[in-house]
Chain A
Amino acid sequence: MSKFHISATVNGEAVEYLCDPKQTLLDVLRDELNLTGSKEGCSSGDCGACSVTLDGRLVCSCLVLGVEMQGRSVETIESMASGEKLHPLQQKFLEAAALQCGFCTPGFLVAAKSLLEKNPNPTESETRYWLAGNLCRCTGYDKIIRAVLETAADMRGSK
C-alpha cells in the first residue's frame, strides 16, 4: 500500500511526512518525527498518555490518523516549555512531586494546560473530571490535582 504525503504544523513548525493509512498521529509523532514525549499506554484512548492538542483541542493522538493531519496543527509536550523556561505547570509538577515514574506526566501536563486555558479557576471536582481521561498508577492523583490547582492560583495571581 502506498504512503500518503502530509503537510502539517507540529509545535509551530511546518512539517512534511509520509505515512501509511494505518499509522496514528501518535505513531507519526513518535516514529516519523522522533517526538517521543507523547507516550503510548493503551492505543485505545483510555489512558491519555498520548494527549496532544489538535487545532487547539485536547485529543488522544492514538485516536487520530496520521493521514487526517493535512493542513492541521498539533502541539505536543515538546513545545510546552519556552526556551529554558518551563511552563508553570511543569515547574509546579516538579516542586510538588506530582510525578513518580513520569510516564503519564506529558499527557497530564498537556491535558492540564488545556484545562487552564479554558477554565483558569477550576474547582477540585472540575479538575478531577477534566483529568479523568488521564491514567496515573503511581501517585493516586493527589499531588497531581494539587499541583494543577496551585498552578491555576499562581497564574491567576500573576495576571
Chain B
Amino acid sequence: MAGYEGKAFKWVGTRPVRPDGVDKVTGRANYGADQNLAGQLTGRILRSPHAHAKILSIDTSKAEKLPGVKAVITGKDFPQMHRGVLPGDEGVNFHYLSSNIMARDKALYDGHAVAAVAATSAAIAEEALALIDVKYEVLPHVIDVDDALKPGAPLLHDDIFTTGVNPKPDKPSNTVQRVHMALGDANAAFKDADIIVERSFKSKTVHQGYIEPHAVVAEWCEDGQARIWCSSQGHFMVRALTARLLNMEVAQVRVMPAEIGGGFGGKTIIFIEPTAVLLARKAERPVRIVMSRDEVFRATGPAPGSSIDVKIGAKKNGMLVAAVGEFRFQAGAFPGSPLGPACMAAFGPYALAHVTSAGYEAVTNRPLCFSYRAPGAPLASFAVESVIDEIAQKLNIDPMEMRIMNGSKEGTQMVYGPKLKAVGNLECLKAIKNHPINKIPLGPNQGRGLAAGFWFNLGGQSSAVVNIAEDGTATIMTGSPDIGGSRASMALMAAEVLGIDYSKVRPIVGDTSAVGFCEITHGSRVTFATGMAIIQAAEDVVLQCRQRVAAMWEVDVEAVVWEDGHARPAGANAGEQKPLSLAQIAARAARTGGPLVGKAAINAGGAGPAFAVHICDVEVDPETGGVKILRYVASQDAGKAIHPSYVEGQIQGGAVQGIGWALNEEYIYGADGRLQNSGFLDYRIPVASDLPMIEPIILEIPNPGHPFGVRGVGEVGIVPPLAALANAISRATGVRMMDLPMTPPKILAAIDAKK
C-alpha cells in the first residue's frame, strides 16, 4: 500500500468530464424504469389503506378472470421464512423482510403491500387491483415513538422481546432494543460542571426523496433462473436477498444494475424485486414494476422520527465536563432504525472524558425506517449541537472557540471503542473560523449559526477487474453502482496507477455474473474501498507488465520500474533497453503470457472518519416565521479529493438535504394512521428558489488507511445543517427550536410566546 506518500498526482485531484456523462445529458442512460423486454407485462401492487389490521381473507378470483390479467399473487405465494434471526445472517430477520415486501396475516402500515397483479397494460392492472377483495379487521395503531414505547401500546409483533436489557423480558413489546455505551461516569461528573443544559428534541420521519422511484423488470426462465434489471445501491444485495426470500440458489439469480436515480441509503434494501420475480414466474412473461411517488413515500424505507434528550455540563470557560444523550428512534413496522450509529456518532466532534450515549428503538405503524445518508447522525447531532450552542450563548463565549477547545482529534477516545487516527475536525473548524463570512455584518432579524458533524465511514468488500486491451487502453469494472460520479473516480485512480491518459480508461459497473462481489454503495465506501480494489487491480497489471518486460530483457523484475505508463530499466541489473509503453507491452501480450488482466478482491479496513463544519446566515421574517437562508458555507475533510467537483457536489447536496430536513420536510399522519402528504407538492423538498449558493471547502487530511489518503465523502455533509440552522434561527430570533421541521408556523408561535 505504500509508495504514494508525497507523490505528486497526475490524474487524482483533476476534474475531467465523467465517463458516463454524455449518456446522462442526452437521455440515453438507462434507469430502472427504462428497461423494456419483449412481451413485458405491467405489475402493480395493492396496498393496505389501514395503519394496522388483521387480514381476514383475500379474494383474488374476480381479478384473475379479468381479460389481460396474467398473474395475481398474495403473501401465500411467498416461501415461509424462519421466524427470527439465524446465525450467519448478520442480524437480518428474513421473515420480517419477506413480510414487509408482502404482508402475511397482518397489514402493519398504510401502504403495506397485500397483493400484486401482472397484466398486459397499466390500465388493466389497476382495474384488477380494484377487483381484489381484502377483508380487514382494523386494529388500534401507534405512530409516535414515545407512544409506542409505553406499556399497553398497540402491539405490532408477538415475537419482539427487547434486547440489551437485563433481565430479558418475558413479554413481547414494541421496544426492539436498548443500546448503551459509555466512557467514564457522566452522571457523577456533572457535579464538576458550572453550567448544565438539558433539553428535549422531537423530529418527524423524513424521506430520502430520490427523484427516481424504485423500478424493476424481472424475467423467469424455464430452467429456473431469474434475471432482474433494477436500480439499487447494490445489485449483489438485490441478488442475495431475492434468492434467499424465494428459496433460490444465489447463482441462479442474475441482477443487472441499471443507472440509479438517487438513493441516499433508501435503495440499500429491496421492496419489489421478489414480487416481480414471482409475478414473472406465474405469468411466464417478463414483468415490470415501477413504484408511483405515492408508493415511494408510503412503502419504502424513510429515515426515522425521533425523541431525544441531551444533557451537557461545562465549566465557565467552555470546557465540557460531561454529556449524556438518550435517543429514542422509531423503527417503522419492522426493526431497522439506525439507533446504534446515532449513539456512536452523536458526540463525535468532541473529546469527552465522561459521556453516555444510549437509547431505545421501537416499532410503529409506519413504513420500515431505514438508512438515510449518515443514518441516525443528523438527528443525534441536531440535539447535541443545539445544546452546545445554548451553553455557548449562556456562557457568552464564542461557539467556534468552544468547539475548537473541546474538539476531537488524533488520539481522542471515542465512546464506541476506537481512538481516532489522523482526522480533520479541527481543520474544518478553523477553515470556517477563518472564512470571510464571519466579517459580514448581520441586519435585523438575521442570525449566524454554526454546527459540526461526524460520521465514521465504512470500508468492506469490493472486487475490481482491470482489462488491458490490445492497444493499451483499459476497461475497468467493479460491482459498485455509481450513484454520483464514482466511475470518474475509479477511472482517475486507474489512470494514476497505470500511468495512462484518463480518456484511455473506460469504467463500467458489471452485473452480478460478470464481476466479483461488491457490498452495497453505502457508508461513503465506494471511492475508498472499491477505489482501493481498483488501485490494487491496476497495480496487479503493472506488476505483470514489469514481470513480462523483465523476462524480455532477461533481467530481474526489480530492474524494471513503472513510470508514466512505461516499463523502464533501473537498478543494478538494468541494461540499456528502450522503455516500453503499456500499449507496446499489450501488443506483445500473446507472446508474453496472454491477456493482461489485473484483479483485486478485498475486504477494505482502515476507513477514515469524516468531519464537517457548516456555518450559515439566516433571516427570519417576524411576520410569518419564514426562514430565508442568506449564505451557507460548508467545510469537510475529504482525505484526498479524487475528483474535487464531485466531492463538492456531495458536500452541497448533503447540506441541502439537511436544510430540507431542518425547515420543510416531515411525514404527516392523520388520526387514522394514514399518511397525508405522499407527494412532492405536500412533502416539500428544497427547490432552487429556496436556496443560496452553497460554498464548499474541501480539506485534505490524508486517511492513513488508504493508499491515496481517501476518506468517504458522501454522508457527513447532511449531519451539521439541522443544528446550524437551528442555531442561526436562535440567534436571529432569541427562540430555540427543538422540534423539527422548523416550519414558519412553529417559529412564529415560538416568537409570539416569547413576546
Contact = CB atoms under 8 A, between A and B. Distances in A.
Interface of A: 1, 20, 22, 27, 30-31, 34-44, 46-47, 49, 76-78, 80-81, 86, 90, 93-97, 99-106, 109, 125, 127-129, 131-146
Interface in B676-726: 679-681, 685-691, 693-694
Contact of B680 (A31, A44, A78, A101): A44
B502 to A, nearest CB: 14
Contacts of B264: 137
Interface of B: 15, 17-18, 20-31, 33-34, 36, 121-123, 208-213, 259-264, 290, 292-293, 483-485, 643, 645-646, 648-649, 652-657, 679-681, 685-691, 693-694
A26 B716 CA distance: 37
B680 A46 contact: yes
For the residues of B in contact with A, the DSSP-based class is loop
19 contacts: A34-B36, A39-B261, A77-B26, A78-B26, A86-B26, A96-B645, A97-B646, A99-B25, A101-B212, A103-B211, A103-B259, A104-B211, A134-B688, A135-B685, A136-B688, A137-B211, A137-B264, A140-B691, A143-B648
Contact of B25 (A49, A100, A109, A143): A109
Contacts of B687: 132-135, 141
B539 to A, nearest CB: 28
A140 B655 contact: yes
Given A37-B28, A97-B645, A103-B262, A142 B693 contact: yes
Contacts of B691: 128, 140-142
Contacts of B259: 101-103
Contacts of A137: 208-211, 262, 264, 653, 657, 685
Contacts of A49: 211
A35 B261 CA distance: 17
Nearest to B691: A141
B649 A138 contact: yes
Contact of A44 (B27, B33, B681, B694): B681
Contacts of B689: 125, 128-129, 131-132
A47 to B, nearest CB: 6
**Which of A22, A143, A146 counts the most B-chain CB atoms under 10 A from its CB?**
A143
Contacts of A27: 122
A39 B646 contact: no
A44 B679 CA distance: 8
B26 A100 contact: no
Contact of B213 (A41, A144, A146): A41
Given A46-B681, A137-B211, A99 B21 contact: yes
B680 A94 contact: no
A140 B694 contact: yes
Nearest to A37: B27
A102 B685 contact: no
A129 B27 CA distance: 24
B123 A100 contact: no
A103 B679 contact: no
Contact of A36 (B34, B260, B262): B34
A157 B396 CA distance: 53
Contacts of A131: 688-689
Contacts of B23: 102
A47 B211 contact: yes
Given A102-B259, A103-B212, 11 more contacts: A39-B211, A39-B261, A77-B27, A81-B26, A86-B25, A90-B26, A95-B17, A101-B261, A103-B262, A134-B687, A145-B688
A37 B261 CA distance: 13
A40 B33 contact: yes
B694 A142 contact: yes
B211 A76 contact: no
A99 B24 contact: yes
Contacts of A34: 36
A132 B25 contact: no
Contacts of A106: 25, 27
Contacts of A80: 26-27
A139 B646 CA distance: 9
A102 B484 CA distance: 8
A40 B213 contact: yes
